Amino acid sequence: MLNFKIRRELPAEEECEFDHADVDQATGRVFVAHTSSGTVEVLDGNECRWIKTIPDCSGGSGVVFDPNTKKVFAASRAEGHILVIDPVSLKVEKKFKTGKKPNGLAVDGERGILMTADVGDNHARFHNQKTGEIIASFELSGRPRWSTYRKESDEYVVNIMEPPGVEFLSAKDFKKSRYLSIDQKGPHGLVIEGNTAFVACDDAVLVSVDLKEMKIIRKAKLKGPPDVLWYNRKQGLVYCSIGEPGVVQVFNGKNLEVVQEVRTESGCHTLTFDEKLQKMYTFLPESHSVGIYEA
């Protein structure tokens, strides 16, 4: 169960909007795209405090940490570039161009590849992490949402808003390997655990998908249109962030039964989770702060 620990204020801005976030579990540092200020904000999860603002991420959107290459990647949706951040020194080591509006990011660390899913032209672009070179590009079936890499099948997995579905791209040749239509409006949040994918859809429905059979096996009603999903492997729970009315719903990953509802605040649509520390971070735009919970 989630228990509220503390709320920490972030640097004040006239506007406040957050997008994707991720955690380096080795340092306990949390990186979140601060879209309205064009920055990446960094928190120390061990000490529960803000430590740094990283600039030059206008329209900040996707953020992902690669545990293999030990780099943080942040997407500037307004300028069309990627920041490569060292999670220890917190220095921007590199900046390279991608498509015009990169959004979702995914990493294949063993090959040293970063995928950017672009909402400007609906393309997936595959970059060499070290050089930033685009080594392949693929036109997706529609507007991409959340993206990830699945090692078990060696595929990139991308939610597609319309036509609603989940697109799978081979990590070997960067081409479509399969596609699963979703009978719900607007697949958005995505998380995969084992052979099960959880997809949160705009019409306030959470579905679980059997990736072997490629079919939907369960559905659950949500409190409102969702955004981010995260999975707690230790407890077998799915966390779903919902901006309106401002809650995190917690589901049993096996049967999709609701086990808890946590009140956040209006507009809080994103979260991230530290599996090692068993802490959840919710990003609160009205109060310009982060709410920290212990699982």
Q: Domain 8-216 sits in which CATH superfamily? A: YVTN repeat-like/Quinoprotein amine dehydrogenase (2.130.10.10)
Output the DSSP codes for 123-185: EEEEEETTT--EEEEEE-SS-EEEEEEETTTTEEEEEETTTTEEEEEETTT-SEEEEEE-SSS
Contacts 24+ apart (CB under 8 A), 171-176: 171/108, 171/111, 171/113, 174/124, 174/126, 174/135, 174/136, 174/137, 174/138, 175/138, 176/138, 176/141
Instruction: Give the residue-averaged pLDDT of 3-17.
Output: 88
Which of these, 154, 106, 101, 104, lies nearest to 127 by C-alpha position? Answer: 106
41-100 pLDDT tens trace: 999 999 999 999 999 999 999 999 999 999 999 999 999 999 999 999 999 999 999 999
Under 8 Å between Cβ of 55 and 41: no
What DSSP character marks residue 30? E
Beta strand 39-44 pairing with 155-160:
unpaired
Q: What is the pLDDT of residue 13?
A: 75
At 36, list the tokens: 């309205």
DSSP string of 217-269, one letter each residue: EEEEE-SS-EEEEEEETTTTEEEEEETTTTEEEEEETTT--EEEEEE--TT--
Round to whole Å and give the CA distance between 60 and 82: 10
Q: What does the pLDDT read at residue 25?
A: 96
User: Each residue of 230-274: pLDDT tens digit?
Assistant: 999 999 999 999 999 999 999 999 999 999 999 999 999 999 999
- Distance, CA of 183 to CA of 165 (rounded, Å): 8
- Distance between CA atoms of residues 44 and 151, nearest Å: 29
In this model, does residue 283 exceed pLDDT 90? yes
Report the largest interatomic distance among the alpha carbons of the chain, rounded to a whole angstrom: 48
pTM score: 0.97
